[in-house]
Structure 1
Amino acid sequence: MEPQMGVGTAQAGAHQEVDEGLRALAPQPQPAKFFGIGSGLVAAGALAAGMFAATDPALAYAVAGGGAGVSTASLVVAERARQRAEIADHFIEQICPVMMIRPRPSRAAVKLSRWRGGFIGLPQQVQLTYHARVVPDPEWLKSLAEVASVSLGAKYKVEAHLPRKRRVVLGAVGAEQVEKTDPTVDRASRVVRDLLGESARVKVELNDDGDATRIEVAHEQGSNMAMASKRLRVERVLATRVPGDWVPEWNLVEDTVVFSAREPMPSLVLPPPEHSPLVRTHADYRDFQIPLGVDEDGEQLSWHPRKQPHMVVVGTTGSGKTVVEQNVVQRLTQAGWKVWVIDGKRIEFIGLRDWPNVERLASRIEHQVKLIEDAHDLMNERYALIEAGKATSADFEPVALIVDEATTLLEAADDWWAEVKPKGGSSKSAVLKRLGNIGRLGRSAKIHMLIGLQRADTRFISGEFRDNLGMRVAMSRLSPDGAKMMWDSYVVGTTIPRHIKGRGMALNSAGVPVMIQTIYAPNPDPGSDDYDPQRVATVRPREVVHKKMLVEILEPVTVDLDGNENPTSYADYMDARVYEAPDQPQVQPATAPAARSAVPAGALAALQSLNTAPATAAVEERPTGRPSPAVLADPSRPVIAERKHMPYVPDDEQDLFEGYGEPVECPPRELQAGDLIQIDPDAETWAVLAEAPQEDETGIYLEYIERDTGEAGGISVAATEMLPTRHIEHEEN
């Protein structure tokens, strides 16, 4: 028995002349030819009879003429049939070996029909029935079309494949159709058929600029595409070979897939012109959301405190973490929330010291600890009222606790606790415990936290605490372990582009991490280089709901009436008086919202550190025809703007390969998802391995994401090739 045919066998046979000029099939009989000869003899006889007829020879001449016509037509038909039969037999002799029909070709396996063009013409449809030993695959189907194109002298493509009947239908592609095919459509179609088989039916939609925006595919790879890894492979390869950022929609029941081009993300998003509405009722609180930016699908991404009780923002110095926090505070205060702020760096939120509805801002460590204790006590008081039946959650006003630089706060609190703790007190302060309690119980008491971290920290982003951080944002490239903490993946978030300020990762409403361009909130600090009073005025709250409060500053040592020095105790600090500030913040008078078609001129000064060209709002429709959020008639949505990118230069102290080991040479089979591989040694370009290595026809296929640009790609390497690699180096807790 002959071995079962694979792809290699099919391709070898695809370009092999079977008979090398010797016919393997006997010529087919041509009954029309014999009928024509017979008709000619009848015509000749009738003509002779007419010539020697004694009476009127007209009847004989008429019979002779008719017979001659029939004879000529029959001979013409016979000749055309003979030539078509020769073309068919030559094609059959070439195609049958490819279909494993051996040793002799079979006419029953091939049917040519719909001949068009000229006296002989070409078949517009070719129907093939292959042997049961064939294992059909996309490459083999492609080889059938190639053999037909070479043998018959026209271009053919696979129109249908019926595996159960072992039948393939090829169709001729007209010359005018080939000439008119758009190069973009042709390339996208070829790539899709390479991935999903020659029988795939592909429809490509273009925009006015000639770019592909939508690819609809009906395929016959249902069994293969049922596996997620196969679908992911198709998505990755398509992304590298067809320009665009493609979003797939697989229909595994109907064996179809639609790839839609995702719109390019904006490089700058400005705050919504309309302020957040005041939260006056429990219903207002339930519906309240804070816009954070625009995600990779062009949708507004927001923090919904009622559903996502607490939020964490992770980002190194200069990454935009503080800008995200400023935006949250500005929207909360516009809505009249009571906002308490812990300034971990002591000078990061100077601009909020005179900001309406920021009731308390703590920069001294004793005031920061007291603020957490007061928030914890308030939560317990509210729980007691609920337990006693004296109140419900709907009766409380919401409180936002902003804890910036939480890791620094914990270290400073422990150091300060060591100085003021009572005799027999624990070795560490209760700050982390208090924050954990608020994380678990704060939602029912309408107390919500925003925690800012320089890097992912297991003390906050793990276990139950992590589960309560329903909104998570990363504004800088994470280490593999940091990505695992934030997104349950060693890959996601490790390739955030460094050259686009405000770009990060965040959870969408479905809890899936997506790329986001965060809102650029103006810095309210008058002493900062990027301070712009006009831009700040547009986001300043217009109504004071909560007055500014101060905390009494206690001396570390007090002297009693007898002259004895007594150190101030922890309890004294926690009982320090909280009083109304003599200088209260001023509000911004309500004015008509600025026109949405332009960014206020004064805002440009605030963007000088981010732009090299003036920023203008993009209010026209995008190339795909789907309007951007800025187009929608909703002034509560962020404004999309454009800016020229400037390289983001990290701190010199920042380790570019944090979380990875030293470079080593590694064979591809030993790589794991999340490892760094060097894809261009000359340019020192590193990429994160997106998936475990997969074997393909040419070796080992590696899917990656470029670390600097975030672009997906893939390469095939030999199994024996050694690749420069940095393995994940797990951090010790």
Structure 2
Amino acid sequence: MKQNPFEPWKRRGLEDLGFSEGSSVGLTPRTVMWPYGMVLAGGTAVACAIAAMIRGWPLWSLVAILILGFVAAGLVSIFGWRKQRRDELGDRIIESLAVLISDTKRPSRRDYQFRSWVPGDFKRPLDRFIGAPADIRIRFEARLDEESIDWRMAVADKVSQRSGMDYDITRYDSRACMLALGFAAPVEEPEPDPVFKTKTTALAKQVFGDSAAVSVALNEDDEPLPTQLSVEYDTDRKWAKASVRRDIEMTVNALLPGRWRPDWNLTDDTVQFELRPTMPLSIPHPRPDTFGQVEDTILPYAEDEDGRIVAWDLKAAGPHMIVVGRTGTGKTVLIIGILIEAAARGWKIWVSDPKRVEFLGLRGWPNIQIVATQVSEQVAMIYKAWELMEYRYSLIEAGEADEDDFEPLIVCLDEYRDFVAMVTGWYQSVKEKGMPTKCPVFEWIGSLARKGRTARIHLLMGTQRPDADFLGGEMRDNFPARAALGSLSPQGAQMMWNSPSTGIALPKGVKGRATAVTVDGAPGEVQVYWTPDPRRAKKSGNEADMAILESLRPPEAVHPPLRIDIADEPFDGDDYSEWQEVLAAELVEISVEEAMKPRAVSTKTVVNAVIEDKRAAESEDGYMPTEDLQACEVEAGDLVRVDGQWVAVEGSIEDPGEEDLWCIDYRTDDDESEMLAIDASEVLLVRKPDNSETEATGLLDEQ
């Protein structure tokens, strides 16, 4: 008989096998003996009590005899009745199985053994008292078809039906013609999938198609949350588009709790999403293990979300580096950390400080030779660096030296936009007839960027925002090593990382959080090492900061501090302009004590450097004024007012499962990832990134 494919499958029973229980199949009725035992026990007790009374025994002994007798009679009746019920159950099972195990249809109790009676899983107390046999042994005729297991399964089904318990075959001995049954292992009903597992699976099916194979891993919390999502999808050329993959990543981050990162394998048609590890809010700068190792060109400055070191590798990543970040994001901390790492290796370091106070604490630090704060000093320093580069090229050209013979020199130019503005204003005051329209210092910087690598002169540039002029064309290729502190505007992200969505939603309240090229070679989120400013740490007396600085200080200085001497009359008897005086400046070795002494400020230089601030119209934190926008108009990179604070939006997308519901994934100032699900038309307070074009720096303009 074939099973109907549209009905649930069930094991075959007697009717399916063609058997029927005829009226001729029966057992000889058992003789019930327990009533006789009960009467005998009770009668014996009464007889003993009468005999005791005749003999004059005390009254209490008569009562005791009667009680014992009646208790014995009760026990005989109770257990006798239970045995009767068990025998009746066994007989019903025997009669039911007779046609299955015997061709004679004459059942025999000798072929059955019912052992190890237990209360079972019955609900009624009386049924539990009677119980069920945990072990049933059945002897069958050898003529049965032993190759088929249908009759054995039918036996187990029939026993289960008669006894009220589930039985299964525990032993089958064909040689001894013995079949043993025992309680079937309980079938555990599968627990329903947690809510987020169901939601995650449904989301993956909706995004990748119903045919996609989805696997979701959960944590072990009371309310399990997804920690990993693996999808094997159908081959389709659309997955090769970065924009399609980015939209999927945004959808996953917006609709699932936490922050997720993908690992696409386009060759195998798989993708694995996993929760991003929680990054520390601060990492003290670790002690370098490369003191004095000049040839070590890897300068660590941060760690990524997996705890891997992120470094400026001057050979692999590029000879020059640019650091972008607005005030308060940690840009200066990163630059100080890199300079101190270079100083630990015994490199020469020259610093241009347009703000005049950011790097004063590095004066007197071992191997940091120059911290130039005046415009004329900064121009002279860059000229000397360019002059040194040309000199080293001449040595190579003459065959007197090789690239590896030179000591590395780091030239740090911080606040480059301020530097450009100050130099431009100063140059207008010293420029004479016949001189170039633009200050030649920009030519020298461009030359250092193009040729400095061979001469082992490396630029470390700092600026508050990525200027289109600075990060365009040739200069973009010369500064492959980059780091961006804080959130970028989509335009800035495009200039820095060739992606308008990279690094645009970093938490505003976490200083030192940046986007940089990680070990994988792709831009990712990192936490910059906390490197205290020596001047501020000394003033505050912070013991932890002082301990960090002490661990970073080189045991000895290889290069002495230098002073930039700009003489009013570099040559006796000649009349020189201020520009010529700067070009004729000399670098003079000084002591550490003299380097750390406060210096008099040249009023003329400061006054000449003051120019109109063309950035007055720009926003201070990189965002436009507040405006009212509907939820569906919010984009990644915006700031949104939520619960009294401005939060950075990581993703904004319509809920695919519910129409007109908008999901906004955001990060708080404390780096907590949360989601806001609201009506698409609900109005929010929003601040858009400031994407205004920046002023030309003149760095890339053709001379």
Question: Under a length normalisation based on structure 1, what TM-score does the superposition of the two structures give?
Answer: 0.60
Q: Say if 2:260 and 2:273, in contact at 8 Å, map to a contact too.
A: yes
Residue aligning to 1:542: 555
Q: How far apart, in 1, do the equivalents of 2:223 and 2:335 lie?
A: 41
Aligned residue for 2:385, secondary structure, equals helix
Q: Report the CA distance between 1:300 and its aligned residue.
A: 1.0
Q: Which residue of 2 aligns with 1:552?
A: 565
Corresponding residue number in structure 2 for 1:60? none
Look up the match of 2:64: none
Q: What are the within-5 Å matches in structure 2 for residues 570-609 of structure 1?
A: 570-583=579-592
Partner Cα distance (1:687, 1:727) in 2: 10
Change in Cα spacing, 1:499 to 1:667, as seen in structure 2 (3 Å) is closer
* CA deviation string 1:462-495 (max 9, x = no partner): 2221222222222233333333322333333332
Question: 1:196 pairs with 183, 193, 204, which one?
Answer: 204
Change (3 A) 1:702 1:288: same
Q: Secondary structure at the match of 1:443?
A: coil
Question: How far apart are the structure 2 equivalents of 1:559 and 1:391?
Answer: 32
1:503 to 513, 519, 523: 513
Q: For 1:114-193, list aligned pairs within 5 A.
A: 119=161, 175=188, 177-178=190-191, 186-193=194-201
Determine which of 655, 661, 664 is the counterpart of 2:619: 655
1:281-360 superposed matches below 5 A: 284=295, 287-307=296-316, 308-360=318-370
Q: Which ranges of structure 1 fall in alignment gaps of 5 or more residues?
A: 1-23, 45-64, 75-113, 123-172, 588-651
1:440 and 2:443 equivalent? no
Q: CA deviation at 1:369?
A: 0.2
1:449 is displaced (CA, Å) by: 0.9
1:477/1:496 contact within 8 Å kept:
yes
Residue 473 (str. 1) matches residue 455 (str. 2)? no
Q: Select which of 265, 269, 287 maps to 1:273.
A: 287
Moved more, 355-364 or 440-449: 355-364
Deviations for 1:39-63, whole angstroms, at most 9, x for unmatched residues? 738879xxxxxxxxxxxxxxxxxxx
Contact 2:396 2:402 in 1 (8 A): yes
Among residues 635, 638, 663, which one is paired with 1:676 in the alignment? 638
Q: Do the aligned partners of 2:652 and 2:662 also contact (CA within 8 Å) in 1?
A: no
In the TM superposition, residue 731 of structure 1 has moved relative to its aligned partner by 1.5
Deviates more, 1:322-331 or 1:201-210: 201-210
Aligned counterpart, 2:99: 70
Q: Output the amino acid matched with 1:655.
A: S
SS for the counterpart of 2:302 is: strand
Closer, same or farther: CA 490–360 of 1 in aligned 2, 3 Å: same
State whether residues 340 and 361 of structure 1, in contact with CA within 8 Å, keep that contact through their aligned partners in structure 2. Answer: yes
1:322 Cα shift?
1.5
Residue of 692, 695, 699 corresponding to 1:731? 692
Distance 1:468 1:187, change over 3 A: farther
Asked if the contact 1:250–1:257 (Cα under 8 Å) also holds between the matched residues in 2, the reply is yes
Q: Return the alpha-carbon distance in structure 1 between the equivalents of residues 267 and 525 of structure 2.
A: 30
Measured after TM superposition, the shift of residue 372 of structure 1 is: 0.6
User: Which structure's CA Rg is the greater one?
Assistant: 2
Q: Quote the residue 1:420 is aligned against.
A: 430
Distance 2:631 2:272 in 1: 36
In the alignment, the residues of structure 1 paired with residue 654 and residue 247 of structure 2 have an alpha-carbon distance, to the nearest angstrom, of 11
CA distance, structure 2, for counterparts of residue 712 and residue 534 of structure 1: 33
Rate the CA distance shift 1:529–1:431 in 2: closer, same or farther, 3 A.
farther
Output the amino acid matched with 2:365.
Answer: W
- Distance, in Å, in 1 between the alignment partners of 2:625 and 2:506 is 20
- Cα distance, 1:456 vs. partner? 2.5
**SS of residue in 2 equivalent to 1:525:** helix
Unpaired runs of 5+ residues, structure 2, are: 1-5, 27-93, 104-152, 167-185, 597-615, 695-703
Residues 99-118 of structure 1 mapped to structure 2, 5 A cutoff? none
Match of 2:32 in 1: none
**Which residue identity is paired with 1:579?**
V
Report if the CA contact (8 A) 2:253-2:665 is conserved: no
Aligned-residue RMSD, C-alpha: 4.6
How far is 1:428 from its partner?
A: 2.4
| 2:530 alignment partner, SS class | coil
Indicate the residue corresponding to 1:618 in structure 2: none
User: 1:698 maps to what in 2?
Assistant: 659
Once the two structures are superposed, what CA deviation does each residue of 1:50-78 show, in whole Å capped at 9, x if it has no partner? xxxxxxxxxxxxxxx9999439999xxxx
Aligned to 1:40: 22
Preserved CA contact (<8 Å) 1:702 1:714: yes
After TM superposition, give the deviation of residue 208 of structure 1 in Å.
9.7
Q: Could you say what secondary structure the match of 2:454 adopts?
A: helix
Give the letter aligned to residue 380 of structure 1: E
Contact 2:322 2:461 in 1 (8 A): yes
Output the amino acid matched with 2:467: D
Q: Does 1:453 align with 2:463?
A: yes
What residue is the counterpart of 2:50 in the other structure? none
Partner of 1:529: 540
> In structure 2, the residue corresponding to 1:375 is in which secondary structure?
helix
Cα 1:678–1:541 change in 2 (3 A) is closer
1: CA distance between counterparts of 2:511 and 2:352? 25
Distance 1:512-1:702 versus aligned 2 partners, 3 A rule: farther
1:393 aligned residue = 403
| Letter aligned with residue 552 of structure 1 | D
SS at match of 1:40: coil
Question: Shift of residue 356 of structure 1?
Answer: 1.4
Give the distance between the partners of 2:630 and 2:354, measured in 1 at CA. Answer: 43
**Distance between the aligned counterparts of 1:558 and 1:394, measured in 2?**
35
The alpha-carbon distance between structure 1 residues 348 and 395, as it changes in their structure 2 partners (threshold 3 A), is same
Q: 1:478–1:202: structure 2 CA closer, same or farther, 3 Å change rule? A: closer
- Summarize deviations over 1:336-358 as a string: whole Å, max 9, x none: 00111112122222222211111
Q: Which amino acid aligns with 1:419?
A: S
CA distance in 2, matches of 1:68, 1:371: 106
CA distance in 1, matches of 2:314, 2:226: 36
Distance across 2 between alignment mates of 1:34 and 1:297: 63
Taking the aligned partners of 1:67 and 1:472, their CA distance within structure 2 comes to 85
Aligned-partner Cα distance in 2 for 1:365–1:505: 31
Once the two structures are superposed, what CA deviation does each residue of 1:381-415 show, in whole Å capped at 9, x if it has no partner? Answer: 22233333333211211111011222222222122
Secondary structure, aligned partner of 1:445: coil
- How far residue 263 of structure 1 moved from its aligned partner, in angstroms, is 2.5
Q: Does the CA-based 8 Å contact 2:285-2:548 persist in structure 1?
A: no
Picking from 387, 401, 407, the partner of 1:377 is 387
The amino acid across from 2:201 in the alignment is R
Q: Which residue of 1 aligns with 2:122?
A: none
Q: Please name the residue that 1:109 is paired with.
A: none
In structure 2, how many angstroms separate the alpha carbons of the residues matched to 1:722 and 1:214? 33
**SS across alignment from 1:519:** strand
Between the aligned partners of 2:273 and 2:634, the Cα distance in structure 1 is 28
Cα displacement (A) at 1:552: 1.4
SS at match of 2:510: coil
Residue-pair matches, total: 518
For residue 658 of structure 1, what is the amino acid of its counterpart?
G
Residues 262, 494 of structure 1: alpha-carbon distance in 2 compared, 3 angstrom cutoff: closer
Q: 1:529 corresponds to which letter in structure 2?
A: S
SS class of match (1:495): coil
**Would the aligned equivalents of 1:483 and 1:493 in 2 still touch at CA under 8 Å?**
yes
- Structure 1's 215 and 398: CA in aligned 2 closer, same or farther, altered over 3 A? same
CA distance in 2, matches of 1:700, 1:229: 23
